[in-house]
Amino acid sequence: MINASLKQLAALLAGKKTSSQELTQSYLERIQAHNPALNAFVTLNAEISLAEARAADARIAAGSAAPLTGIPIAHKDIFCADGWRTTCGSKMLDNFIAPYDAHVVSQFKAAGMVSLGKTNMDEFAMGSSNETSYFGAVKNPWDANAVPGGSSGGSAAAVAARLAPAATGTDTGGSIRQPAALTGITGLKPTYGVVSRYGMIAFASSLDQAGPMAKSAEDCALLMNVMAGFDERDSTSLERPSEDYTRDLEQPLAGLKIGLPREYFAEGLSADVGAAVEAALAEYRKLGATTVDISLPNTRLSIPVYYVLAPAEASTNLSRFDGVRYGYRAPDYTDLTDMYQKTRAQGFGSEVKRRIMIGTYVLSHGYYDAYYLQAQKIRRLIAQDFDAAFQQCDVIMGPTTPDTAFNFGEKADDPVAMYLSDIYTIAVNLAGLPGMSVPCGFGANGRPVGLQIIGNYFAEAKMLGVAHQYQLATDWHTRMPNTI
């Protein structure tokens, strides 16, 4: 059962082979057994979960079930969920009970899916290893010494360890794809604007995008059918006709043109990740695809550009955490300024403070043009690189990360080394394109490798089909860590 796809679970529920309550209960038990070692969940609320499961069972019995009704899903703790503690991985929100549902959460609720719990994450989604969480790092289910990636590390680990059939994540610079790659699961970051950001705690508004994290591309497609769509409460949400993300799953790949950016196969890529990706590309050729060399010349600029723009936006997005209305407030202070300073000094962790300071600096009078405006210009060049590339190919492929999961502490004291681990994912966010990561093998250390698939704007259905065909031909996505 723990390896069952969403489609299979739905069939079991529809055929009354199991109930949502049984399913939910069994996942809660798995969480209870494994979470102490993994730390993938920060908040559980069995009462709410089981109540939702009962409601789902009633809906199934009444014959009014939607395709995924009754199946549990874990939510990254960046999404506000009514009645749930919503921490964003921070001491600042340790005591914050959200009074409303994020759009994504309400979409899954409306579809009858059961909220299984809130997953751990890097503080305010700032991190690539989950080590910045106030609630302690998540362990990689494949290797307890390895990071699970970040920032959606809790969601990735929960799915990889089969503590949840599926989970939500968010991706600002790779926060779905990188942990998906490092834990051997499938994750999709949609085109910017396809999924509403309402109720998702903002890190960098122009880059943040929510997406599904699951065992397979097919599961991701079913989840996209629930979470995507226009929401008038998010001004950057795109008003487009709704689409069926499963529509291209069975499309054969003959004639598919895959672009291989030479910058993604250059210095810095580890040999075993390179080999696994090459093997995946060979599989694609077997399936009828052809590959073409392309160039994304401004790739190397994506990290500096990102580390100007994302902190700039974050520095003001996080201003609302001031101790005045909700969340943490320092216990002792002398006056208003002292209250602000102590609250924020005590409430935020060091990575968050680092980015607030970078962001404040680059927006300051006299530096704005040199940093922020310049970065925006280069951002456009990066998007143009992709535009040009998609003249030559249907999808772009390459490694999701330069290496397999690194060890705890390995990069924690070297922010730049940590930032460089997102070299292949960040440009996709800057351009607003959809990207996904699909498991494609293991490194010499037995840790998973992810294949990144990048599509043109709104090409999610095609990408999911391209990934699904690969998953029909391979079994990497069905592998489970033996620690569980």
Partner 1 sequence: MQWEIVIGLEVHTQLSTSSKIFSGASTAFGAAPNTQACAVDIALPGVLPVLNKGAVERAVQLGLAIGGHISRRSVFARKNYFYPDLPKGYQISQMELPVVEGGSLTIQVGETEKTVRITRAHLEEDAGKSLHEDFHGMTGIDLNRAGTPLLEIVSEPDMRGSAEAVAYAKTLHSLVVWLGICDGNMQEGSFRCDANVSVRRMGETELGKRCEIKNLNSFRFLEHAIDYEARRQIEIIEDGGVVRQETRLYDPDRNETRTMRSKEDAHDYRYFPDPDLLPLVISEEWIERTRAAMPELPEAMRSRFVTQYGLPVYDAGLLTASKALAAYYEALVAAVGGEAKTCANWVMGDLSAALNRNELDIADSPVSSRQLAALIQRITDGTLSGKLAKEVFEALWQGEGEVDVVIEARGLKQVSDSGAIEAIVDAILAANPNQVAEYRSGKDKMFGFFVGQAMKAMKGKANPQQLNDILKRKLG
Residues within the interface to partner 1 (CB under 8 A):
79-80, 86, 88, 93, 96, 98-100, 102, 197-202, 204-206, 232-236, 312-313, 315-316, 318-322, 324-326, 336, 340, 360, 363-365, 368, 372
Q: Considering beta carbons, is residue 236 or 295 the nearer one to partner 1?
A: 236
Quote the tokens at residue 253: 């790949």
Shortest spacing between CB 48 and partner 1, in angstroms: 19
Shortest spacing between CB 16 and partner 1, in angstroms: 38
Shortest spacing between CB 82 and partner 1, in angstroms: 11
Q: Is 421 noted as a catalytic residue in this protein?
A: no
Q: Considering beta carbons, is residue 91 or 257 the nearer one to partner 1?
A: 91
Cβ-proximal residues to 113 (8 Å cutoff; 6+ apart), any chain: 56, 68, 69, 70, 71, 72, 73, 226
Spatial separation of the C-alpha atoms in residues 112 and 59, rounded to whole Å:
8
Q: Considering beta carbons, is residue 134 or 198 the nearer one to partner 1?
A: 198
Asked if residue 27 lies in contact with residue 116, where contact means CB atoms within 8 angstroms, the answer is yes
Q: Considering beta carbons, is residue 19 or 343 the nearer one to partner 1?
A: 343
Catalytic annotation, pick one of 76, 118, 215, 411? 76
Q: Is 109 noted as a catalytic residue in this protein?
A: no
Q: Considering beta carbons, is residue 325 or 475 the nearer one to partner 1?
A: 325
Sign of the dihedral defined by the CA atoms of residues 81, 82, 88, 89, in that order: negative
- DSSP labels, 304-369: HHHHHHHHHHHHHHGGG-SSSSSS---S--SSHHHHHHHHHHHHS-HHHHHHHHHHHHHTSTTTHI
Shortest spacing between CB 355 and partner 1, in angstroms: 15
Shortest spacing between CB 310 and partner 1, in angstroms: 10
- DSSP labels, 12-64: HHHTTSS-HHHHHHHHHHHHHHHHHHH--EEE--HHHHHHHHHHHHHHHHHT-
Q: Considering beta carbons, is residue 17 or 233 the nearer one to partner 1?
A: 233
Shortest spacing between CB 98 and partner 1, in angstroms: 7
Asked if residue 131 lies in contact with residue 137, where contact means CB atoms within 8 angstroms, the answer is yes
Spatial separation of the C-alpha atoms in residues 25 and 261, rounded to whole Å:
46
Q: Considering beta carbons, is residue 145 or 316 the nearer one to partner 1?
A: 316
Helix/strand number for the chain, H first, E second: 16, 11
Catalytic annotation, pick one of 175, 216, 237, 437? 175
Q: Considering beta carbons, is residue 263 or 313 the nearer one to partner 1?
A: 313
Strand partners, 75: 118
φ, ψ at 140 (rounded to 5°):
-75, 125
Shortest spacing between CB 10 and partner 1, in angstroms: 29
Q: How far is CA 374 from CA 28, 105, 363, 450, in A?
A: 49, 36, 12, 32
Shortest spacing between CB 134 and partner 1, in angstroms: 15
Catalytic annotation, pick one of 19, 106, 151, 237? 151
Shortest spacing between CB 320 and partner 1, in angstroms: 4
Spatial separation of the C-alpha atoms in residues 450 and 148, rounded to whole Å:
13
Adjacency order of strands within the sheet including 209-214: 41-43, 114-119, 72-76, 166-171, 209-214, 186-189, 435-442, 448-455, 395-399, 257-261, 290-294
Q: HEC states along 367-435?
A: CHHHHHHHHHHHHHHHHHHHHHHCCCCCEEEEECCCCCCCECCCCCCCHHHHHHCCCCCHHHHHHCCCE
For the CA atoms of 78, 131, 117, 84, the dihedral, rounded to the nearest 10 degrees, stands at -50
Helix/strand/coil for 88: coil
Q: Is 155 noted as a catalytic residue in this protein?
A: no
φ, ψ at 379 (rounded to 5°):
-55, -40
Spatial separation of the C-alpha atoms in residues 131 and 126, rounded to whole Å:
10
Active site residues: 76, 151, 175
